[in-house]
Structure 1
């Protein structure tokens, strides 16, 4: 049996249709523009109403905060490192953007199925 840290879904009560739709919206609001504001506002508004939405919001915010941190480190490395390694940082940033988008879509699909998905590469901050 897998340990809870590596489980693909967190155990929560079965979500209602409304909770699932709210979870999907929470994920979709994290996609365009500033990925933290939409999910943060929705999580703060919904976290006390549903353990499912609380789990969705926490995992989503952990994911976005982690990737924001990774991007900041790569951008700082881009400035500090020599030009050849700085180019590698740019390539990694582009790759990270694709991974961020793919994992975001995967999170939407899990929300649609009524599951709280633990994003890989996310540091558990909340």
Structure 2
């Protein structure tokens, strides 16, 4: 009689986790509708679910790394706006913010956790 070998099956994130992570990324865009909503909504969403799912926690860290980085890039852009180049940087930052949030949402819905480009990694996962 041969011994039974146990195998560990690792499954990806559930549909609910992927949907929540996608909404977490898209919640950043609320800042274009209501001031500070694009910062407060992701914080609340992440704090509510980060202990329940490692996948949501990892996506929350990606979002907050970007939000902190975008704030830093924004401050630098405002300072440089006195010599005109900062105005272009602010416009580029706004476009990057929209594109990165959409790309992050698509990847999160596919079950992939990826860092946004131009992001300083404050939180590691």
TM-score (norm 2): 0.81
Distance 2:57 2:86 in 1: 34
Q: Quote how far apart the aligned CAs of 1:77 are.
A: 2.7
- Structure 1 residues 13, 87: closer, same or farther in 2, change over 3 A? farther
The SS at the match of 1:114 is: coil
Offset from partner CA, 1:18-63 (integer Å, 9 cap, x none): 0011111111111121322111111111111000000000011101
C-alpha separation between the residues in 1 aligned to 2:56 and 2:70?
Answer: 21
* Deviating 4+ runs (over 2 angstroms): none
Structure 2: runs of 5 or more not aligned: 1-9
2:62 maps to: 59
Structure 1: distance between partners of 2:79 and 2:86? 9
- TM-score when scaled to structure 1? 0.80
Q: Number of residue pairs matched?
A: 109
